[in-house]
Chains A and B, each alone.
Chain A
């Protein structure tokens, strides 16, 4: 698992040199924006069910047959597994966001996920839909657009201040979507 710092170190080591001033300047910017990153991660941690459970149930609502006999979320044991997976994917996205690097998401979550879903007969299209809703909800919560300031107090900056970190979070969800489809 790498973070933004060790990613820079690994690429410097491949060249056998110390980090140059450009790389250090980039890392200093990363440090300067640390509070926004930490608050964005905290925003996810504090809205887990708002993001994960709502996304999965939203996806199920769009496909009414899923909870009927013969559907992929019937019986509740399979619905529970679906809810649990939404939360697991969100958790690894939150780790990647905190680290500032997608390697933890790739190594520990996405590696083999599609094969597992295919083997278990999970409909990929619906899984992707749930992740898409999670992405929209996460971006909205990080930029604090849909839930109002009361939902998450003391976040560093509002709206446009969080644009970059929200885009980064969205890129991790896109990574999940790409790896599944």
Chain B
């Protein structure tokens, strides 16, 4: 799975070389960012239900979308947020790529699901992150970068 460390190892293995100094530098760099990522993952895990509920209200309360889809939308947003928390832990987009984005387009197209509701929800979540109430600046940056990554994949 693609993470900060496995990306480096995959590249070293493709070249058949032992971990070089620059490989080790790259791993070290990812470890220095780990504290912020872990904090974001921890805060997100603690507030994942509230964040989901808040995003749902923002999307559904103006009556633009069919209320019947509300529960399923809640389930999916919760699922994507969980995958984002995994990405924060590993320091790469592997969990989102493998468990959230691969096949997503095909499923949405086949089932006729409008992705705009999801995009609105995640834009809302991104804009609602408040520093320092929710998490530190660095943690928020890591979190927002992953939400942007997901929004790009959805749009």
Q: Decide: B95 and A13 in contact? CB cutoff 8 A.
A: yes
Within 8 A of A (CB), among B60-95: 82, 85-86, 89-91, 94-95
Which residue of B is nearest A18, CB measured?
B45
* A170: Cβ under 8 A from any B Cβ: no
* B140: Cβ under 8 A from any A Cβ: no
Q: Tell me which of B14-22, B116-124, B126-134, B147-155 binds A.
A: B14-22
* B58: Cβ under 8 A from any A Cβ: no
Q: Decide: A18 and B28 in contact? CB cutoff 8 A.
A: no
Main secondary structure, interface of A, reads helix
Within 8 A of B (CB), among A101-127: 104, 108
Instruction: Note all chain A residues with C-beta closer than 8 A to B89.
Output: 5, 8-9, 19, 24, 27
Q: Decide: B45 and A19 in contact? CB cutoff 8 A.
A: yes
* A42: Cβ under 8 A from any B Cβ: yes
* Chain A 1-44 near chain B by CB (<8 Å), digits 1 or 0: 11101101110110011111100100110010011001001101
In whole Å, how far is A153's beta carbon from the nearest beta carbon of chain B?
A: 13
Q: Decide: A18 and B24 in contact? CB cutoff 8 A.
A: no
In whole Å, how far is A108's beta carbon from the nearest beta carbon of chain B?
A: 7
Given A6-B94, A18-B48, A34-B31, A99 contacting B38 (CB threshold 8 A): no
Partner of A99, one of B9, B34, B41, B82: B9
Instruction: Note all chain B residues with C-beta closer than 8 A to A95.
Output: 9, 12-13, 19
Instruction: Note all chain A residues with C-beta closer than 8 A to B50.
Output: none
Q: Decide: B86 and A1 in contact? CB cutoff 8 A.
A: no
Which residue of A is nearest B82, CB measured?
A18
In whole Å, how far is B101's beta carbon from the nearest beta carbon of chain A?
A: 15
Given A13-B95, A44-B18, A3 contacting B90 (CB threshold 8 A): yes
Q: Decide: B1 and A10 in contact? CB cutoff 8 A.
A: yes
Which residue of A is nearest B83, CB measured?
A13
Taken together as a complex, chains A and B put the C-alpha atoms of A27 and B45 apart, in Å, by: 15
Taken together as a complex, chains A and B put the C-alpha atoms of A95 and B67 apart, in Å, by: 51
* A98: Cβ under 8 A from any B Cβ: yes
Q: List 11 A-B contacts (CB under 8 A).
A: A5-B89, A17-B82, A18-B41, A19-B85, A19-B86, A24-B38, A27-B34, A38-B31, A91-B16, A98-B23, A99-B9
